[in-house]
Amino acid sequence: MSEATNRRRGSYIGLAVLLTVATAIGAAQYGWWRYLGIATHQATAEGTVLSTNCSNNNQVNYSFPAQGGALEGSDSWMGCRNLRPGDRLSISFSSRDPSQNMPGDAYASLIGETISILLASVLASIVIVAVFVGRFGRKQN
């Protein structure tokens, strides 16, 4: 292989890595940091559904016991249509800051979100670089 080929290949790999990191950081802004904060110091409690508004992003309002009192939270929940006020719901919250809470398991949500972000970032980068190489990487005759 020629040095020009190696240099060009290195540039494409560098571009792919840069795009992957930029995409992952951008996508992480939509929930990943929150899941990380809760999962890092995760505690769980059995909460009670207060109300639902499934037409508004599957919103569920709930209360749960934490730090000797009752706290309230609100979040989206996929099973919103199956819930009624008074139903029990598992709540994950940060033991350091119970105001950071969510229904379900924060650790499982963190893993799922991480896998989704990594797959989307890597695949998007590969497609962008492949299009870039295909369109601009060919030598003109």
57 by DSSP, 3-state: which? coil
Mean pLDDT over 81-110 rounds to 96
pLDDT band at 138 (very low <50, low <70, confident <90, very high): low
Q: How far apart are CA 113 and CA 30, in angstroms?
A: 10
Q: What are phi and psi for residue 73, nearest 5 degrees?
A: -145, 170
Residue with tokens 């999962």: 39
Mean predicted lDDT score pLDDT of the chain: 90
Q: Are strands 69-76 and 88-94 parallel, antiparallel or unpaired?
A: unpaired
Mean pLDDT over 88-113 rounds to 95
C-alpha torsion sign, points 25, 30, 35, 38: positive
Higher local confidence (pLDDT), 137 or 84: 84
Give yes or no for residue 21 having a pLDDT over 80.
yes
pTM of the model: 0.79
Q: Where are the domains of the chain?
A: 3-134
